[in-house]
Structure 1
Amino acid sequence: SVSVIDTATNRTVGNPINVGKKPVGVAVSPDGHRAYTANSGPDSVSVIDTATNRTVGNPINVGGYPVWVAVSPDGRRAYTANEGSASVSVITF
């Protein structure tokens, strides 16, 4: 799961958000509306709506064992570094 932390108080906000198994990296879109988690099992990326703190749709399948995710400055693409397959996956929105 992913927890939201209020950086002003260093306390969690609400309940943990269920995502894919073994989330290992998270990135936020430039506009702050979405967060993306790299889930190392089962090799996917989950999309979180930051207004509702809920996942959007089903996890997106990517290469083997994604360990990090980054979002392009325009928010139209996400990239995952896939340790298990020595590759990078590109997700377009």
Structure 2
Amino acid sequence: MYDQSLALEILRQIDGALRKIGDRASRITGPDFVATIRASDRVKASVKEKSALELVRHYRLSTGESLTNLGVLLLGDASRRQRFGTAPSIAYVTRG
């Protein structure tokens, strides 16, 4: 599907980038986030096959070297969430 050495290099790069902005990369590449996605019966099989980095990008939790606001809410630590000026409001759409 993809070259494993390339995937490892990409993971190293994203790990370094996330450390620069003060987030813990283990929250993204660690087992909790990936295991939860892969265990869900509501996630397509093609999504479950993605690497940790691909999942972060798929769910738009990061842009370049930084987390999006949604990424900070889901994966960031308390000090990052405290930097929001106002309390975030999140809405989602469900199918009947």
TM-score, normalised by the number of residues in structure 2: 0.26
The structure whose Rg is larger is 2
Higher helix proportion, which one?
Answer: 2
